[in-house]
A and B are shown apart, each in its own frame.
Chain A
Amino acid sequence: MAEQSHLQLEASEEQLVYAKILEKGMLIGLAILFITFILYAFGIMKPYIPLDEVSRYWGTNVTQYLHSTGIKSGWAWVSMLKYGDFINFIGIAILAGVTGVCYLAIVPTLLRKKDRIYAVLALLEALILMVAASGILGTGGH
Chain B
Amino acid sequence: MGLTSNAMIRMGFFVVCALFWLFPEVLGASETAAAPPSSQAWWVWALILFVVTLVMGILAVLGGVGGGVLFVPIISGFFPFHLDFVRGTGLLVALAGALAAGPGLLKANLASLRLAIPVALIASTCAIIGAMIGLALPTQIVQICLGATIIGICVLMLTSKKSELPDVPAADRLSSALAICGVYHEASSGKTIDWKIHRTPLGLGLFVIIGVMAGMFGLGAGWANVPVLNLVMGAPLKISVATSKFLLSITDTSAAWIYLNKGCVLPLMVVPSLVGIMLGSFIGVRLLKIAKPTFIRWMVIGILAFAGIKALTKGLGITFI
Which residues of A approach B to under 8 Å, CB–CB? 5, 8-12, 14-16, 18-20, 22-23, 25-26, 29-30, 33-34, 36-37, 40-41, 51-62, 64-66, 71, 73-75, 85, 88-89, 92-93, 95-96, 98-100, 106, 117-118, 121-122, 124-125, 128-129, 131-133, 135, 137-142
Query: Cβ of B258: which chain A residues have Cβ within 8 Å of it?
Result: 132, 137
Query: What 1/0 flags go to B31-60 for Cβ under 8 Å of A?
Result: 011111110111101100000000000000
Are B254 and A15 in contact, with the CB atoms below 8 A?
A: no
Query: Cβ of B96: which chain A residues have Cβ within 8 Å of it?
Result: 26, 30, 95
Which residues of B approach A to under 8 Å, CB–CB? 29, 32-38, 40-43, 45-46, 80-85, 92, 95-96, 99-100, 102-104, 106-109, 112-114, 117-118, 120-121, 124-125, 128, 132, 135-136, 138-139, 177-178, 182-185, 192, 249-250, 253-258, 260-271, 274-275
Are B250 and A125 in contact, with the CB atoms below 8 A?
A: yes
Query: Cβ of B46: which chain A residues have Cβ within 8 Å of it?
Result: 41
Query: Cβ of A33: which chain B residues have Cβ within 8 Å of it?
Result: 271, 274
In angstroms, Cα B104 to Cα A122, docked, is 21
Are A62 and B249 in contact, with the CB atoms below 8 A?
A: no
In angstroms, Cα B182 to Cα A11, docked, is 9
Query: Cβ of A59: which chain B residues have Cβ within 8 Å of it?
Result: 29, 32-36, 80-82
In angstroms, Cα B271 to Cα A36, docked, is 10
Q: Chain B's nearest CB lies how many Å from the CB of A100?
A: 8
Are B107 and A19 in contact, with the CB atoms below 8 A?
A: yes
Main secondary structure of the interface of A (DSSP, over half): helix
| CB closest residue in chain B, given A25 | B99
Q: Chain B's nearest CB lies how many Å from the CB of A72?
A: 8
Query: Cβ of A5: which chain B residues have Cβ within 8 Å of it?
Result: 183, 192
Residues A58 and B135 in contact in the complex (CB < 8 Å), given A10-B109, A22-B102, A26-B99 = no
In angstroms, Cα B108 to Cα A125, docked, is 23
Query: Cβ of A125: which chain B residues have Cβ within 8 Å of it?
Result: 117, 120-121, 124, 250
A-B contact pairs, 5 of them (CB 8 A): A25-B99, A51-B43, A55-B37, A135-B261, A141-B84
